[in-house]
């Protein structure tokens, strides 16, 4: 480890560079359309005062493995018809109620993608002080729990390799994200318990501040699970995101978001991740 630097260091991560050992079966590529969106949106969020990863570079793919990928998209027939204000089925409602109903139907109007299209690929290099996700800690903690054979009331077995890996990850996250509050005061005495508590508190404040920033600027992350939530409380993974076009509390840009990732449900999703 050594002394942490006075100025921040940044980790670099390639998005769209192809399959990795952790791929779940997809091709590991990113299309140019979504790569441009991430580049522009991450810079916009940074200048709007929301903590975020940033895009260092964007390169269009051109190599022996091909420079295009097939991706699902929407045909002209995929959008459902939304009634108008004078639709007889809405006659019993006031104009204000009609507008509210139509706004809700508009949010739910688009079906899932129903065609495949060929799109050019690109690779984005994004940077961040750390890419440690809540999901990483969750995975390592589950492994440590399983290795301990945990039953009700039983203590963790801190002698297992899984427990050692969890401790190393906690120290790494504390060092990279919150060195002055979660690392420096506890590392010399190897006080992993208080280091973990400090990491949790700092992470809680970071996630809460980030989500409050989303609400302030009208942003929906779209898929705010533990895999897409950085421990440091920093926006990442600009995939199915969007900005609220017309206010609705459950607004979501992606049809797969469900209500649990809707606009005003994001604070609860952040708390769930914490």
Active site residues: 227
CA distance 147 to 67: 44
Q: C-alpha angle 153/225/210, rounded to 5°?
A: 105
CA distance 152 to 155: 9
Tell me the DSSP string of 181-229.
Answer: IIIHHHHTTT-HHHHHHHHHHHHHHHHHHHHHHHHHHTEE-S--SGGG-
CA distance 45 to 231: 18
Task: Kindly state the DSSP code that residue 49 receives in the 8-state scheme.
Answer: T
Closest to 240 measured CA to CA, from 226, 254, 250, 228: 254
CA distance 141 to 147: 10
**Beta strands 115-128; 68-73: pairing state:** antiparallel
CA distance 185 to 196: 12
**Beta strands 115-128; 54-60: pairing state:** antiparallel
């Amino acid at each position: 480890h050594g002394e942490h630097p006075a100025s921040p260091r940044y980790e670099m991560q390639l998005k769209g560079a192809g399959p990795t050992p952790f791929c779940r079966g997809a091709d590991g590529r990113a299309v140019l359309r979504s790569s441009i969106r991430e580049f522009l949106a991450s810079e916009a969020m940074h200048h709007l005062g929301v903590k975020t990863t940033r895009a260092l570079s964007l390169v269009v793919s051109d190599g022996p493995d091909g420079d295009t990928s097939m991706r699902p998209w929407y045909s002209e027939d995929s959008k459902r018809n939304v009634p108008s204000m004078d639709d007889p089925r809405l006659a019993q409602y006031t104009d204000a109620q009609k507008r509210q109903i139509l706004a809700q139907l508009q949010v739910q109007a688009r079906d899932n993608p129903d065609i495949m299209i060929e799109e050019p690929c690109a690779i984005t290099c994004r940077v961040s002080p750390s890419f440690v996700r809540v999901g990483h800690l969750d995975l390592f903690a589950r492994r440590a729990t399983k290795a301990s054979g945990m039953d009700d009331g039983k203590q963790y077995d801190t002698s297992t390799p899984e427990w050692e890996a969890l401790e190393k990850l906690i120290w790494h996250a504390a060092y990279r994200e919150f060195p002055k509050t979660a690392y420096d005061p506890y590392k010399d005495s190897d006080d992993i318990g208080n280091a973990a508590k400090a990491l949790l508190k700092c992470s809680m404040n970071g996630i809460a501040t980030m989500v409050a920033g989303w609400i302030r600027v009208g942003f929906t992350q779209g898929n705010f699970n533990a895999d897409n939530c950085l421990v440091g409380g920093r926006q990442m993974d600009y995939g199915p995101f969007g900005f609220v076009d017309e206010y609705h509390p459950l607004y979501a840009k992606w049809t797969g978001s469900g209500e649990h990732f809707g606009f005003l449900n994001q604070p609860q999703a952040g708390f769930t991740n914490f």
